[in-house]
């Protein structure tokens, strides 16, 4: 891929596929913009200026999106985006954005989660400022230490990789999401190379000594219990030995 910026137009009025060489800025903080972008290939870092220099906010990969704030508000960009490697991205304008949300609701849900996280961060910083404390951003824990023993396991049928289920909290199932900063308790990223499961796909929780599975809002490619499709938002009982499928990823639930 050329180190220079390349714009490839398709049919008139359609989206454009853009290519950027490693180290090139896609946009700068403060730029005006009315488009968002989806990564087709490569990695993009999101940067924000600080008194000590640029601070990396996130590293985004294939399938991730960025620049959505400008398309929603038509305000200057609050951060910069730079290619960490040679990248190919799709530029989405307002008209296409509306159609995209209708066709793929998961993107809309992820945007809402990202905005919700920002509201929580702003609320915490405001409370800290009123108390005279040093403002701190909300950090999503990358590792959660269980306070209760493991009561169940999810076992990847193909690789036999095991994930614990604990009595004191629900097990969120999905893939790491650098866009929203959410880290699922059961991270399918290493065993889902096709990215068939959603970033936040489903969860398992324990209630009255019974386990339940519920598909999250916005999940795509389906959640299946013993080959039967699970309805979004409707909990179903699961038992030891049941086969659960999230997109193309199959796991066996065990609690014995």
Domain edges within the chain:
6-103, 150-254
Which of 21, 15, 60, 8 has its CA nearest to residue 35? Answer: 15
Going by pLDDT thresholds of 50, 70 and 90, the confidence category of residue 229 is very high
Which of the four pLDDT bands, split at 50, 70 and 90, describes residue 121? low
Predicted confidence band of residue 133 (pLDDT cuts 50, 70, 90) = low
CATH code assigned to 150-254: 2.60.200.20
Q: CATH for 6-103?
A: 2.60.120.10
Q: Is 31 exposed, middle or buried (0-12, 13-18, 19+ CB in 10 A)?
A: middle
What the block records as the tokens of 214 is: 């519920």
Q: In sequence order, what E strands does 79-122 have?
A: 80-83, 87-92
Question: So what's the pLDDT on residue 136?
Answer: 55
- Taking CA atoms, 89 is separated from 97, 175, 178, 196, 237, in Å, by 15, 21, 17, 20, 41
pLDDT at 159: 93
pLDDT at 11: 39
Taking the CA of residue 118 as centre, how many other CA atoms within 13 Å lie in the half-sphere pointing to its CB?
A: 11
Residue 7 has pLDDT above 70, yes or no: no
Assign 93 to helix, strand or coil: coil
pLDDT(128) > 80: no
105 pLDDT higher than 90? no
Helix (H, G, I), strand (E, B) or coil at 68: helix
pLDDT in tens, 170-196: 789 999 887 777 788 899 999 999 989
Residue 99's CB is within 10 A of a number of other CB atoms, namely: 10
Contact 254, 240 (CB under 8 A): yes
Please tell me what DSSP assigns to residue 11. S
- Between helices 105-131 and 94-103, what is the axis angle to 10°? 110
Sequence length of the chain is: 256
pLDDT band at residue 144, thresholds of 50, 70 and 90?
A: very low
Confidence tier at 9 by pLDDT (50, 70, 90): very low
Higher pLDDT, 168 or 72: 72
* Predicted TM-score (pTM) of this structure: 0.55
Spatial separation of the C-alpha atoms in residues 44 and 168, rounded to whole Å: 36
- Does an H or E element contain 47, and which? strand 44-50
Closest CA relative to residue 254, chosen from 162, 188, 169? 162
Confidence of residue 12 (pLDDT cuts 50, 70, 90): very low
Residue closest to 191 by CA, chosen among 110, 248, 253? 248
- Phi and psi (nearest 5°) for 147? -100, -5
pLDDT digits (tens, 9 = 90+) for 15-47: 589 999 999 999 999 998 888 898 999 999 999
In contact, 220 and 106? CB cutoff 8 Å: yes
């Amino acid at each position: 891929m050329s180190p220079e910026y390349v714009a490839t137009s398709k049919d008139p009025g359609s989206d454009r596929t853009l290519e950027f060489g490693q180290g090139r800025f896609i946009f700068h903080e403060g730029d005006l913009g009315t488009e968002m972008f989806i990564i087709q290939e490569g990695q993009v870092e999101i940067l924000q200026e600080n008194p000590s220099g640029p601070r990396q906010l996130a590293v985004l990969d294939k399938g991730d999106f960025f620049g959505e704030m400008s398309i929603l508000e038509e305000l200057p960009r609050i951060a910069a985006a730079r290619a960490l490697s040679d990248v190919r991205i799709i530029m989405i304008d307002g008209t296409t954005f509306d159609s995209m949300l209708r066709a793929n609701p998961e993107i809309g849900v992820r945007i809402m989660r990202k905005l919700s996280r920002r509201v929580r961060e702003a609320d915490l910083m405001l409370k800290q400022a009123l108390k005279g404390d040093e403002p701190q951003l909300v950090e999503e824990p990358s590792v959660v230490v269980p306070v209760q023993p493991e009561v169940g396991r999810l076992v990847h049928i193909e690789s036999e990789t095991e994930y614990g289920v604990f009595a004191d909290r629900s097990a969120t199932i999905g893939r790491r999401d650098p866009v929203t900063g959410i880290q699922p308790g059961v991270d399918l990223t290493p065993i889902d190379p096709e990215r068939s499961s959603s970033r936040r796909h489903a969860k398992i929780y324990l209630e009255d000594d019974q386990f339940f599975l519920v598909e999250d809002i916005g999940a795509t490619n389906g959640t299946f219990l013993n080959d039967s499709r699970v309805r979004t938002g409707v909990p179903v009982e699961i038992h030891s030995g049941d086969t659960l499928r999230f997109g193309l990823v199959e796991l066996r639930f065990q609690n014995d």
